[in-house]
Amino acid sequence: MAPFFVLESFVKFLHVEKRFSEHTTIAYKKDIEQFLEFAEITKIEALSEVNHHLVRSWIVALIDNGIENKSVNRKLSSLRSFYKWLRKENITVVNPLVKIRGPKSSKRLPSFVKESELKVENLNQFFSDDFDGIQDRLIFEFFYQTGIRLNELIQLKDSDIQNDSIKVLGKRNKERLIPVSNDLTSKIIEFKKMKQGQRLNALFFFSLKNGNKLYPKYVYRKIHLYLTIATSIEKRSPHMLRHTFATHMLNNGAGLETLKDILGHANLSATQIYTHNSFSKLTSIYSQAHPRGSKDKL
């Protein structure tokens, strides 16, 4: 059995048993293929000959080629999972990743759009009154008002949309309920009426005009277009609106535990990165409110 077939079995394991998304399994496969090519592994027996020295050489090569530390660590995570599976399947005995530590990643603060740039009166002019315009506006609001992920939004079905909440199937197939505002509810009702008027009987809540399922690039292009009009920020994507949702929630008094549950984070550390952005607002408030907070008052 060649390494290629072993890798295909591993990818199937990730998809079927671990229930990883297609996007994630493709990323794992590419990472491991890169290592197999670097290590010149063409036979299954060679998988057992890999040691930590070879893995470290791969890390050095990746860094020398300009790969960021964060990406290097992601590739190591893929390789770790692969070798854990190989041991479980009795294909190898030793895991060469045991002695490996990845390079330190510098945590970049997530960028976000200013609240003033997302005022309702500013956004109204961007969207048309036809099916595409109303759906685009609702998709935009879903990202901004719920912090939903791109793949989660695409997978939403009519049965997931309630009067006061939406049911989301997140990573690792974990379900969560996200509350929705009265404003979002009214937009949902308007959209449902339009779907009924067009007799659009699609499987998913959001769809193309012909009823087919939305695809990631379609949604990305739409959000990128509207954010280009609304803001001068460099990164313009659905995930940017997720960052914006989280930052604005914290800035306006939401607790970390609450935000963690809404975002679907597995642990609190993933949510805490947004506190850095919120701290800048706290600093601004402190400067304005405290008698000695501003340098001008000294």
274 classed as catalytic: yes
115-287 CATH: 1.10.443.10
Catalytic residue among 52, 224, 239, 281: 239
Instruction: Please say whether the beta carbons of 246 and 161 come within 8 A.
Output: no
pLDDT tens figures, 139-172: 999 999 999 999 999 999 999 998 789 999 888 7
Confidence tier at 289 by pLDDT (50, 70, 90): low
Helix 131-146 to helix 182-197 angle (10° resolution) is 150
Q: Where in the chain is the domain with CATH 1.10.150?
A: 3-88
Catalytic residue among 137, 149, 195, 243: 149
3-88 belongs to CATH 1.10.10: no
Residues 6+ apart with CB under 8 A from 39: 46, 50, 54, 58
Catalytic residue among 18, 167, 224, 265: 265
Catalytic residue among 15, 74, 171, 176: 171
28 classed as catalytic: no
Q: Is the pLDDT of residue 277 over 80?
A: no
Rounded CA-CA distance 293/200 in Å is: 58
Q: Is the pLDDT of residue 298 over 60?
A: no
242 classed as catalytic: yes
Q: Is the pLDDT of residue 204 over 90?
A: yes
Confidence tier at 1 by pLDDT (50, 70, 90): very low
Catalytic residue among 28, 83, 144, 274: 274
Residues 6+ apart with CB under 8 A from 252: none
149 classed as catalytic: yes
Q: Is the pLDDT of residue 291 over 70?
A: no
Rounded CA-CA distance 248/250 in Å is: 5
Rounded CA-CA distance 158/95 in Å is: 46
Q: Is the pLDDT of residue 43 over 70?
A: yes
pLDDT in the model for residue 109: 64
Confidence tier at 284 by pLDDT (50, 70, 90): low
pLDDT in the model for residue 297: 44
Q: Which of residues 232 and 225 earns the better pLDDT score?
A: 225
Angle, alpha carbons 265-266-269 (nearest 5°)? 75
Q: Where in the chain is the domain with CATH 1.10.443.10?
A: 115-287
Q: Is the pLDDT of residue 295 over 60?
A: no
171 classed as catalytic: yes
Q: Which of residues 177 and 197 earns the better pLDDT score?
A: 177
Mean pLDDT of the chain: 87
Q: Which of residues 24 and 293 earns the better pLDDT score?
A: 24
Q: How many CA atoms lie within 13 A of 276 on its CB side?
A: 12
Q: How many CA atoms lie within 13 A of 49 on its CB side?
A: 10
Task: Write phi, then psi, for 161 (nearest 5 degrees).
Answer: -100, 115
The β-bridge partners of 279 are none
Q: Is the pLDDT of residue 94 over 90?
A: no
Catalytic residue among 75, 187, 236, 242: 242
pTM for the complete prediction? 0.65
pLDDT tens figures, 73-91: 999 999 999 999 999 999 9
